Amino acid sequence: MIQSNESAERIRELLDRNLQEVFGENDGVRRRAAIGELWAADAVLYVPPGAITGHDAIDKFAGDLRETHPHYVYTPHGNPQVLHNAGRLAWGSGPRGETPEYTGWDVITVRDGKITALYVFLDETSDEFRRASGEPSTL
């Protein structure tokens, strides 16, 4: 049996910080610094539109996403869970203090204390999922 050498504490930290400091950050300089600290150079972000590779592309995607709703906050739903070199975190996004406009899961893999892959699962009942998937909105 192969055991992961990744710290469960570090994986939880990566999930929490990525949610807030990358996808929840409006300031491009701070967001880019967080990407450099949290993500491996060859990391891949898997989102409904497709796979995005590398710091520059991840930063552009996160920045473009923030521009669509800069007043939204990301709120964890429960605590991060860790298994070997991976972790997952449920979250919601919407205006602070209101019911989330959309929800989903982040699932990461980690190598040497950095995110190597992030799979973003949007709950299919949300308009955000339909928008990101190119399906018509229910609005």
CA distances from 116 to 81, 99, 121, 128, 132 (A): 17, 31, 16, 25, 22
Mean pLDDT rounded to a whole number for the chain: 91
Span 59-106, pLDDT tens digits: 999 999 999 999 999 999 999 999 999 999 999 999 999 999 999 999
Q: For residue 139, what pLDDT is reported?
A: 44
Q: Which of 76, 79, 74, 78 is nearest to 93 (CA)?
A: 74
Q: In the 8-state DSSP scheme, what is residue 80? A: -
